[in-house]
Amino acid sequence: MHHGTADKDVPYSFQQALADDLRAAGQPVEAYRYEGDNHNLSGNLGLALRRSVAFFKRHL
């Protein structure tokens, strides 16, 4: 999961709660925080996409 701390649409706390719930259910999860980035991860989109591809390669 990827989340910008300046996201005005979805609070960062939602990402934290979902990651905690997934871990408690024994599911693989990686949660990334992008300081100052927005809902679209405009400043970190390339990095977020690379991390997503790597995650799916490991788990699918």
Q: Residue 32 forms beta bridges with which residues?
A: 2
The ranges assigned to domains in the chain are 2-59
Q: pLDDT tens digits, residue range 24-36?
A: 999 999 999 999 9
Q: Provide the 10 A C-beta neighbour count for residue 10.
A: 11
Q: Provide the 10 A C-beta neighbour count for residue 50.
A: 10
Choose among 5, 37, 3, 8: nearest CA to 18.
3
Q: Residue 2 forms beta bridges with which residues?
A: 32
Q: pLDDT tens digits, residue range 8-54?
A: 999 999 999 999 999 999 999 999 999 999 999 999 999 999 999 99
